Amino acid sequence: MAGADTPGTDGAKAGCGLLIILALSFALKLVLVTITPIGIDEAYGIAVGRSLSLSFFDHPPLSFWAPGIAARLSGIEHPLVYRAPFLIAGLVTTWAMYAIGVRLGGVRVGLWTAGLYAIAPFFVISTGVLIVPDGPLALFSALTVLSLVRIAGHGDRAPMAWWLLAGLTLALALMSKYQAAWIPVAVLVFMLINPRGRRWFGQAAPWLGVLVGLLGLLPVLVWNLQHGWISFTFHGSRAGGGMSADNILRMLVFQAIFLLPTGLLAVLIGIRLAFRRPVRPEVLLLAIIALGPVLIFNVIYLTSRGSFAHWAMPGWQFALPLAGLWLAGLGEATARRFRNWAGGFAIAIWLPVLLLVIHAQTGFLTRPFTDAAPDWDRTEEVFNLGGLRPGLEARGLWQEADLLMAADWVNGGLVDTATGAVLPMRIADLRSAHHFVFMEGAAATGTALLLEPSRLKLADQTAARLLGMAQAYDANAEILPPVILNRGGVPYVAVAVVRLQMR
């Protein structure tokens, strides 16, 4: 992160500081990409994204397309290839955040902004490692905001090319995740309350930029029109459920972890100072962009248990440059104390994360004390299922199967991605199929293997539940012995197997 700069050295320090931040960020992400197995959301995204649908049940298309396109272009099916677009996106986003900070207050603000972004656990993992929509959303939102900050700080009439560039990147953000829709709303709010913004009403360029941006919604709208607006129905059903004080407290704790407690403190101060007079137009616009998701989703957290802390993170992302403005104005001693506290929190959070990721694949934390994993050792959701297909092949089950089945989208994604998506995947419970129900294999017939991984002690219970589901399709369905997968050389996961005929 930035410290005090000596006049005349800003350019050299900025280049060196940014390179250090990018290099360290890349190194950490590369380690995480390498040691972290494909998770539930990632496996599902890879599985359904192979269809290159116009849009998808859960989200707009961009993050679903990316891993499949990377695999096709490289000719390699591997987690590192699937994640490569997201790793690159994370690095470019870090640069874009730096550039926003520079636009607001110079290189020191840029370095603080990039440093805060590069150290925050959420922005490292979800926007730079995992195959989830947050990565492309963060990238294209940052590029859009960079253009908007440039426009707001330029004067009364910015070049049309800047507006069109903002529209293009907004379109890509809208093709990534629905939260990007707040950005044009924030611009409208700015136009209503700020004198410079009000002058934009009479200019053609802002409206042309908006039209270009809204083109990013076309794939989503066309696909949903063809499928009964199911995406919007799904997301609308996730809010509500009554007041929940414990949920909002839990969500606030997670947001503090996602940003680091020092980061959360800095962004709160930065947002407050953004409204201090005299208000700069570009700072006000950025504060509005940041506040929208933060306020909207924290209200949802208060009124809904079916919510997730990362929903508010697009807002916190754009509060980081405001935090950078505050931090860049601190004295060297105070800035050093902040860096020390931030480093301490980073170690306190990142060290356990890295240890748990390694433990999920090796069991090294519990294996010295017990042969069988204790009940609290629940890492099966981030377990590498790469041994599943060889296990089925060794028993001749793979060779006789015409399709694979799973109880729901979670296990469908895990099984389909782990086995290479060679066989069609059909979901037994159509209410929990998500996008699988729209794929080519949704009605596949023939000899099917209904599969589901679980902990060893739950193997019989899982198999019995799957048999009940299978008998709704085939009264003669049969339970077969599970495929046992090892963790660190010790049996850990049992994949239940039920064979049935689908007609």
Domain membership of residue 337 (yes or no) is yes
CA distance readout (Å), 113 to 19, 96, 202, 215, 240 = 14, 10, 34, 30, 35
Q: State whether 27 and 172 are in the same domain.
A: yes
Q: Quick one: 465 and 409 in the same domain? A: yes
3-state secondary structure of 115: helix
CA distance 318 to 145: 8
pLDDT of 240 > 80? The answer is no
Per the document, the length of the chain is 503
Instruction: Please tell me whether residues 346 and 385 are part of one structural domain.
Output: no
The torsion defined by the Cα of 253, 259, 260 and 261, in degrees rounded to 10, comes to -60
Q: What angle do CA 390, 396, 397 make, to 5 degrees?
A: 85
Does the structure show a pLDDT above 50 at 333? yes
243: left (phi over 0), alpha (psi -120 to 50) or beta: beta
pLDDT at 241 over 80: no
| Residue 327 is assigned to a structural domain of this protein | yes
Query: Looking at the structure, do residues 77 and 165 belong to the same domain, yes or no?
Result: yes
User: Does the pLDDT of residue 420 top 70, yes or no?
Assistant: yes
Of the residues 331, 351, 371, the one at which a domain ends: 351
Are 247 and 295 contained in the same domain?
Answer: yes
Q: Both 200 and 158 in a single domain?
A: yes
Report the helix count and the strand count for the chain, using DSSP H and E: 22, 5
Contact present, 191 and 200 (Cβ < 8 Å): yes
Q: Residue 452 in 3-state DSSP? A: strand
* 404 part of a folded domain: yes
How does residue 488 score in pLDDT terms, banded at 50, 70 and 90? confident
Cβ distance 174 to 181 under 8 Å?
yes
Which structural domain, as residue segments, surrounds residue 137?
Answer: 10-351
**Statement to judge: residues 301 and 434 lie in one domain:** no
Edge-first strand order for the sheet with 403-406 is 425-427, 403-406, 446-455, 490-502, 478-487
pLDDT number for residue 20: 97
């499949």: which residue's tokens? 68
In terms of domains, do 148 and 289 share one? yes
The strand pairing partners of 452, in sequence order, are 496
Q: Is 2 domain-assigned?
A: no
Tokens of 379: 């890492």
Count how many domains the chain has. 2
Omega before 136 cis (within 30°)?
A: no
How many Cα atoms sit within 13 Å of 359 on the Cβ side?
Answer: 15
* Structural domain contains residue 179: yes
State whether 157 and 236 are in the same domain.
Answer: yes
Do 50 and 100 fall into the same domain?
A: yes
Confidence of residue 268 (pLDDT cuts 50, 70, 90): very high
Is 362 within the bounds of a domain?
no
**343 shares a domain with 268:** yes
**What is the percent of the chain where pLDDT is above 90?**
86
Q: Compute the average pLDDT of residues 242-246.
A: 79
Checking if the pLDDT of 145 tops 80, the result is: yes
Mean pLDDT, rounded, of the chain? 94
Asked whether residue 385 is domain-assigned, the answer is yes
- What is the pLDDT, as a whole number, of residue 248? 93
pLDDT (tens digit per residue) in 440-485: 889 999 999 999 999 998 999 999 999 999 999 999 999 999 999 9
pLDDT digits (tens, 9 = 90+) for 16-64: 999 999 999 999 999 999 999 999 999 999 999 998 999 999 999 999 9
Indicate the SS3 state at residue 490.
Answer: strand
Residue 103, in any domain of the structure:
yes
**In the predicted model, is pLDDT for residue 372 greater than 90?**
no
Same domain, 195 and 282: yes
pTM: 0.94
CA distance 298 to 308: 10
